[in-house]
Amino acid sequence: MRKKIVAGNWKMNKLSDSAKALFEEICAHSQQFGNVTVMVAPPSLYLAAFAKSATSKVCIGAQDVSAHNDEGAYTGEFSAAMLKSTGGRYAIVGHSERRSYHGETDALIAKKIRACLDAEINPVYCCGESLQERESGKHVQVVQSQINEALSGFSADELKTLVIAYEPVWAIGTGKTATTEQAQEMHADIRQFVSSKFGADFAKEMRILYGGSCKPSNAKELFSQKDVDGGLIGGASLNADDFLAIIKAAQ
């Protein structure tokens, strides 16, 4: 049985003191998390400090990582190896905001996945369609194309720590949420497509998270779907009560 993951993506939110207080409150409840993997991805400035104070029940992840794993003149970047050296265990790659605001392509994202794997960091690969692509009926084709381009060149054995996060772009930060039927449909299609590329055994064990405006009111229903293995949580991860309620819903 696949172990659920609830991952909090804080994006560019929280000054140092409030970030520390929120993280400490989450960690204070960590003994109640049961068999759920909880990951927090704070702004990169806080990664090292959070990793030092994390509990065994709370993993630290980065919101992005460099495609380069060698040291060098890459101003403003940090490598997956550096992330690991701080105690970080996960890195989000290919988030829709990185694609939209920074022009990241699937080819670049594939290099970031490779950098993560080489440094033994677990990549959380994001994929998803825009509202226009959903309404035109191209959502399945778009997501399959993203996955195909980003994961080509890898073997199933190399990708055994990969997590996929399906994020309908039209449901991120908009208050809109895919229905449970829409979420399950896309997650099942992703699993089937991955199965066609890497085999049924690999696809059966791979975890797929939902990443579109998941909140306490809909988390339990979403997480009850056969192919939804948890969530990549944005806004709701910035409130301790909401985030803890979502973790509880995954248990």
List the binding residues.
9-11, 173, 213, 234-235
Annotated catalytic residue 158: no
Q: Which of 213, 249, 216, 218 is nearest to 233 (CA)?
A: 213
The tokens for 43 are 């702004």
Tokens 């208050």 belong to which residue?
A: 175
Q: Which of 167, 171, 146 is nearest to 7 (CA)?
A: 167
Alpha-carbon gap, residue 192 to 164, rounded angstroms: 13
Alpha-carbon gap, residue 134 to 230, rounded angstroms: 22
- 95, 97, 129, 139: the catalytic one is 95
Q: Which of 3, 122, 153 is nearest to 60 (CA)?
A: 122
Binding positions for substrate are: 9-11, 173, 213, 234-235
Q: Residue 50's Cα: distance from chain center in Å?
A: 18
- 135, 167, 187, 205: the catalytic one is 167
Annotated catalytic residue 95: yes
Q: Residues 60, 39: contact at Cβ < 8 Å?
A: yes
Annotated catalytic sites, by residue? 95, 167
